[in-house]
Amino acid sequence: MSSPFDQSRYQVRLDWGVAGYDRLAPADVTVVVDVLRFSSTVIDRVAAGESVALDADAHAVSLNGAAVAAHAAASGTVVMLGALRNAAAVADAILAEQRRRGARTSIALIAAGELAGRAAGAPLRFAVEDLLGAGAVVDALGALGLDHTSPEAAAAGEAFRGLRGAVRHLLTASGSGQELIDRGVRDEVVAAATTDAATCVPVFRGGRFTAYA
């Protein structure tokens, strides 16, 4: 049965974390957005020619992003990784997927958020970087005509559009960014804040992320 929270009437949907994925109606394509650090790290590794396993190393980079990707993949949806770095490329890949399918393709954007603690099952914490990353994908989809968005997705898109010029500052000043900067990886945070710097879209197949083609 449909739920008021499943966003099933919309083509482009958005929610947070594993629980949010389960709230949404099943979608043909799921885009996991975990800007700091899972999505951005895997995008760059796949762009360099690697295939990246969704294993313990992936969970070490981001417990929550990896968990969302694994959970979504188990349902049979096409799982892509999105971020600020590849938002336009993700939109292009989704449009290509819709053309390949020859049918209207539903899209679930899952902002991973952060866990308030390293243990699985810890409460989910809002992460502004994932809101902006998801919003960048919404904005890029709209530019291609895929703009039948839920209110949740539309709000993320407007947040990105309104704050696009401040994205680098917002990421470095955010709680997640400050945590990573304190660990000595400021360059990684700055790189993750660069919109459309990458054309690679990791897609999950056979237990590994490879480039969408």
Rounded to two decimals, the pTM is 0.95
Ranges of residues in the chain with a pLDDT under 70 are 1, 117-121
pLDDT (0 to 100) of residue 119: 61
Helices (H) and strands (E) in the chain, counts: 10, 9
Where exactly are the structural domains of the chain?
A: 12-204
Question: What span, in angstroms and rounded, lies between the C-alpha atoms of 184 and 171?
Answer: 15
Cα→Cα distances 213→70, 96, 105, 131, 200, Å: 21, 9, 17, 26, 9
In the chain, the amino acid numbered 104 is R
> Which tens digit of pLDDT belongs to each residue from 24-82?
999 999 999 999 989 999 999 999 999 999 887 777 777 789 989 999 999 999 999 99
Taking every pair of Cα atoms in the chain, the longest distance, rounded to a whole number of angstroms, is 48
Q: Which candidate, 116, 143, 160, places its Cα nearest to that of 14?
A: 160
How is domain 12-204 classified at the architecture level of CATH? Alpha-Beta Complex (3.90)
